[in-house]
Amino acid sequence: MARNANLSSTVAAEQKLSALTTWIEASEETLKQAIAGSERRMLLEVIRAIDSIGYFRAFAPGHKVTDLPGYVDVCWLGASRVLSYFLPAAMVGPGAIFARTTPELSLWASGVLYQSGLVSHLKRLIDFVRYDLATLELAHSGAIRFVITADDFEAVDREAINWFGRHTKNVDRPFLDALAADQGKWIVQQLQSRVRKDEMFGIGYSSCRELEEYFEAQSQSHARSLPGNDALPDDCKVGPLTFGQYRSAMVTGMARCLKHTAFVDTLLIRKDPPAIRDILTIYKFDHQLREEWGGLHGLRDDEADILLEVMGISPADGAHLKSIPDCPQALLIRGGDDCWHSPVFGGLNCPFPWMNRKLQRMFRPDWDRAVNLREAAFRDDLRALFPEPRFFMPQKTHPLRDGRRMLTDIDATIFDRNTGTLSLFQLKWQDSFEASLRERASRQTNLTREGNEWVEVVSTYCTGLNGTERAFRLGLPQELASNAKAMRLFVLTRNGARFSGGEVQDSRAAWFSWFDLLRQCHGLKRPVDPLTDLWKIGRRSRRPRKRRGVQSFELNGVRIEIVMA
C-alpha cells in the first residue's frame, strides 16, 4: 500500500510539473514576442541588471538587496537563461544601443532575471531527479516536492576552492598591503581628479600607466586564486594564440573591470550622482577594441577579433547558454554588428570557465592536443609540493606490465626518504563542468570507473611482493627501493574528486582534488609521515553535515518545495 501511495504521489507530481513546464515555455515565448523589435534595448537593461548582481557578489556578498529570498544567487543562476532569450536578434544591427535606464525598465529587467533564476533552479531540481540525486512527490498541500536524497560530497571540494582563494590572498597580502600603503592615497586622488559626470553617458574618465599597473596587480592576485586560470600550460597553442595570451588578456580585462568600478564608486559618492546601472555597463566599437587589445598584446586585427570572440558572448553561443544553469561570466557581450557591451560582472568574479569552454567549442582539436601536456604540469606542481631532498619523485611516468602486456601507468611516484612511505598517484585533470549535471555525471562516471580500475590493477599487481621488490618494480632506483615500506595509493584530480551518488570510490586509495590536497597539506601539524596522514584523510568519506529543513519558492502560483532528506 505504501509503495502504491508513493507511486501515485510521484505520478501526480509529474503531471503537475509537466503542466508547469508547459506554462514556463509559453510564458518565455510570450516574453520573446513582447520584446520583438526592441531586443537590443531590452538586452542592455538585462545586462545592467546582471552587472548590478555581479557587483554585489564581488563587493558586498552578504548585502540584502530585496526581501525576496536568495535574490542575488537566484538572479545569478538565471543570467544564462535570460540572455539566451535575446539571441540572435539583440546582437545584430548597425551602430550601438545606449539609453538611460528608467525605474520601470530596471524593475522589468530585474524581474525577468529573477524569474529566469527560479526557472533555472527548477530545471536543475528536475535534473537532480533524473540523475537519482532526489525524488519527486506531491505534498498534501499540493506543492511539488523535491526530496534531496544525496549527500553533498561536492562540498568538500567547494570548501577547498574557497580555502585556496583565501590562502592565495593571504600569501599576496603583504605585497598588496605595501602597494596600498605606498600608492593608496595617490590612487584615490587620481580617481577623484580623473572622473567626471558625463551628460550623455553618465560617466567619463581618463587613465594613466600607474593606475593600470595598480589594478593589474590586484587582478593578477585574484586570478591566481580562481579555478580554470591554469587549465592549460601557457605555451599551448589554441587557435592563433597561446593559452598564456588568452589568460593574460582575461587578467587585463579583470583589471579594467576593477578600475571601472573604482571610478563608478568615486562618482557615486558625489552630489547628484548618475544611476549606477547607467554607468556600470558601457560599450565599445570593434575598431576601438581591436586597437586596445591588439596593441596591448601585439595582435593583428584578425587575431584580435578571435580574442574578442573568446572573451565574449555572441550569437554562436546560443545553444551553450541554454544548456548551463549558471552565469556566463564573459568580459564582453555582442551588442550589434560592430560593437560590444562591456559589462563588469564577469571580470569581477570568475571569467576563466567561460574562456576555457569557449576555446573548447571554437578550437576543439587544438584543445584536445593541448590537454595531453597537462600531466607534465600537474607532475611539476606535485613535485613542488613534495620537494627534494626529503622526497624523491621520478621524472617520468612508470608503466606496469605483465610480460609484454601493458596493464596501466603510474602517473607519479613520491618516495619519502625519512619514513620509507611509497605513494603512487593517478592524475586526472578533467575540465570544469560549470553547473551542468549532465556533464557532472559524465565526469563522475569516468573518474570513478577509471580510478577504481587503476586501484584494482595496482593492488593486484603488488599482491605478495615485499616492500623492496614492490618499490623496485614500481620504478624506484635500487638504493631507494631497499628502504621502501608502506605503499599508499592516491587518485588526484585537478578540480572535483568528490561526487554525490553513483559508484562508490575504492577506499584502498585516497581521493583528492588538487585544492583539497593543498588544504590538507597546510593543515598538517609537524607530521612524522605526511604521505600516510594524507592517505588516511583522503580515504575517509568526510560525509558533509546535512542541512535539514524545507526551502520553497513559487512559479505561476505553484509552490515548489525542496526537502533535505
The pLDDT of 250-273, averaged and rounded, is: 96
520, 534 in Cβ contact below 8 A? yes
Asked if residue 160 and residue 263 are part of one domain, the reply reads yes
The pLDDT of 168-176, averaged and rounded, is: 87
Has residue 1 got a pLDDT over 60?
no
The pLDDT of 356-361, averaged and rounded, is: 96
Residue type, 525: K
80, 324 in Cβ contact below 8 A? yes
Alpha carbons 419 and 421: distance in angstroms, whole number: 5
Element (H, E) at 471: helix 467-473
Asked if residue 316 and residue 407 are part of one domain, the reply reads no
CA-wise closest residue to 244 among 223, 213, 214, 258: 223
**Per-residue model confidence (pLDDT) at position 4:** 59
Alpha carbons 370 and 132: distance in angstroms, whole number: 34
DSSP codes of every residue in 281-296: -EEEEHHHHHHHHHHH
**Per-residue model confidence (pLDDT) at position 546:** 66
Asked if residue 458 and residue 365 are part of one domain, the reply reads no
Residue at which a domain ends, from 345, 370, 395: 370
Give 379-402 pLDDT, tens digit per residue: 999 999 999 999 999 999 999 998
Asked if residue 383 and residue 331 are part of one domain, the reply reads no
Give 480-500 pLDDT, tens digit per residue: 999 999 999 999 999 888 888
Has residue 131 got a pLDDT over 80?
yes
Q: b/e string for 304-316 if b means 16 or more Cβ within 10 A?
A: bbbbbbbbbbbeb
Backbone phi, psi, residue 386, to 5° = -125, 80
Asked if residue 252 and residue 337 are part of one domain, the reply reads yes
C-alpha cell at 472: 623496485
Alpha carbons 258 and 289: distance in angstroms, whole number: 18
Asked if residue 512 and residue 485 are part of one domain, the reply reads yes
The pLDDT of 122-130, averaged and rounded, is: 94
Residue at which a domain ends, from 370, 385, 416: 370
Biggest CA pair distance of the chain: 82
Give 27-55 pLDDT, tens digit per residue: 999 999 999 999 999 999 999 999 999 99
**Percentage above 70 pLDDT, the chain:** 98
Asked if residue 388 and residue 351 are part of one domain, the reply reads no
Backbone phi, psi, residue 309, to 5° = -65, -40
Q: Confidence class of residue 447 from pLDDT cuts 50, 70 and 90?
A: very high
Has residue 222 got a pLDDT over 70?
yes
Q: Which domain holds residue 363?
A: 154-370
CB neighbour list of residue 404: distance below 8 Å, 6 or more residues apart: none
| Residue-averaged pLDDT of the chain | 92
427, 381 in Cβ contact below 8 A? no
Q: Which of 193-197, 292-296, 385-389, 422-426 has the lowest mean pLDDT?
A: 292-296
Asked if residue 111 and residue 94 are part of one domain, the reply reads yes
Has residue 2 got a pLDDT over 60?
no
For the chain, the C-alpha Rg in angstroms (whole number) is 26
Has residue 548 got a pLDDT over 80?
no
The pLDDT of 395-414, averaged and rounded, is: 92
Query: Could you identify the residue written with the cell 544553469?
Result: 325
The pLDDT of 523-547, averaged and rounded, is: 88
**Per-residue model confidence (pLDDT) at position 423:** 97
Asked if residue 180 and residue 140 are part of one domain, the reply reads no
Has residue 265 got a pLDDT over 70?
yes
Asked if residue 144 and residue 158 are part of one domain, the reply reads no
Contacts 24+ apart (CB under 8 A), 157-166: 157/495, 157/496, 157/497, 157/498, 157/513, 157/515, 157/516, 160/513, 160/515, 160/516, 160/518, 160/519, 161/227, 161/515, 163/515, 163/519, 164/225, 164/515, 164/518, 164/519, 165/225, 165/226
CA-wise closest residue to 394 among 460, 480, 322: 480
Instruction: Output the CA–CA distances (angstroms, integers) from residue 73 to 50, 62, 78, in the order listed.
Output: 11, 11, 9
CA dihedral of 503, 509, 510, 515, whole degrees rounded to 10: -70
Alpha carbons 513 and 444: distance in angstroms, whole number: 13
Has residue 271 got a pLDDT over 60?
yes
Q: Confidence class of residue 463 from pLDDT cuts 50, 70 and 90?
A: very high
Does the reported pTM lie above 0.85? yes
Asked if residue 64 and residue 201 are part of one domain, the reply reads no
**Per-residue model confidence (pLDDT) at position 169:** 87
**Per-residue model confidence (pLDDT) at position 385:** 97
Asked if residue 519 and residue 385 are part of one domain, the reply reads yes
**Per-residue model confidence (pLDDT) at position 3:** 58
Has residue 9 got a pLDDT over 90?
no
Q: Note if the bond before 530 is cis, omega within 30 degrees.
A: no
CB neighbour list of residue 66: distance below 8 Å, 6 or more residues apart: none
Give 89-112 pLDDT, tens digit per residue: 999 999 998 899 999 999 999 999
Q: Confidence class of residue 342 from pLDDT cuts 50, 70 and 90?
A: very high
C-alpha cell at 87: 539571441
Who wins on pLDDT, 543 or 350? Answer: 350
| The total number of structural domains that make up the chain | 3
Residue type, 160: A
Residue at which a domain ends, from 370, 386, 421: 370
The pLDDT of 537-542, averaged and rounded, is: 87
**Per-residue model confidence (pLDDT) at position 15:** 95
Alpha carbons 375 and 411: distance in angstroms, whole number: 8
